[in-house]
Amino acid sequence: MKRFKIILFAMFFLVVLQVHTKANSLDQRNKVALSRGPQLVSYATRFLGTRYRYSGQTPFGFDCSGFTSYVYRCFGYNIPHSSKEQYKIGVRVSKSQLLPGDLVFFNTNRKGISHVGIYIGNGKFIHASSGKGYVTITSLNDSYYLKRYVGAVRVFR
């Protein structure tokens, strides 16, 4: 019986430690996002009007994930050139907790994650839009994106 209590206590301790570690990790990401997010957004806006190019990941032309990976790479974060893969990194954040610099994701083809942009604040995001043909700023409340919104990720660590 004593051995069982020791094992039970050890398991409880590990669970508490894991929860505490995740909370500290999110706190750290929030602090970094608050300081680096606005800088990242300011840099991203330099590319407004840059043409959309399928598989593009340079200032000569971007697709959506090429744009986000390029901007993040300029800040020392190597993230994949795939919206589906970008959704798997970082920490998920709710829409109400979005901070500038967070990645926002959409299902635009009914097959899962298919579009990504960078949240810039005030309910808006910057992205390489295939529909418009260039990097633009759009409201998350735009009827097209509102019903296709899937979630958001905070990449900063």
74 has catalytic annotation: no
pTM: 0.80
Whole-Å CA distances, 116 to 10, 37, 44: 42, 16, 14
Least confident of 31-40, 96-105, 111-120: 31-40
Q: Which residue among 20, 74, 81, 127 is the active-site one?
A: 127
Bigger pLDDT: 139 vs 3? 139
Can 81 be counted among the known catalytic residues? no
Alpha-carbon Rg for the chain in angstroms: 19
Instruction: Compute the distance between CA of residue 124 and CA of residue 89 in angstroms, rounded to an integer.
Output: 21
Is 20 catalytic? The answer is: no
Domains in the chain: boundaries? 2-154
Amino acid at 90: G
Q: What is the mean pLDDT of residues 149-155?
A: 97
Q: What is the pLDDT of residues 104-148, one digit of tens each?
A: 999 999 999 999 999 999 999 999 999 999 999 999 999 999 999
- Of residues 7 and 127, more confidence is placed in 127
The catalytic position among 20, 74, 81, 115 is: 115
2-154: what fold? Answer: endopeptidase fold (from Nostoc punctiforme) (3.90.1720)
Nearest to 105 by CA among 88, 121, 75: 88
Confidence of residue 92 (pLDDT cuts 50, 70, 90): very high
- Measured distance CA(110)–CA(113) in Å, rounded: 8
Query: For the segment 15-33, what is each residue's pLDDT rounded down to a tens digit?
Result: 443 444 444 555 665 655 5
Decide the pairing of beta strands 124-129 and 103-106: unpaired
Q: Tell me how crowded residue 139 is: count the other CB atoms within 10 A of its CB.
A: 12
H or E segment and range at residue 58: strand 57-58
Q: pLDDT tens across 45-81, in order?
A: 999 999 999 999 999 999 999 999 999 999 999 999 9
Q: Specify the pLDDT at position 36.
A: 87
- Three-class SS of residue 99? coil
Give the 3-state secondary structure of 121-134: ECCEEEEEECCCCE
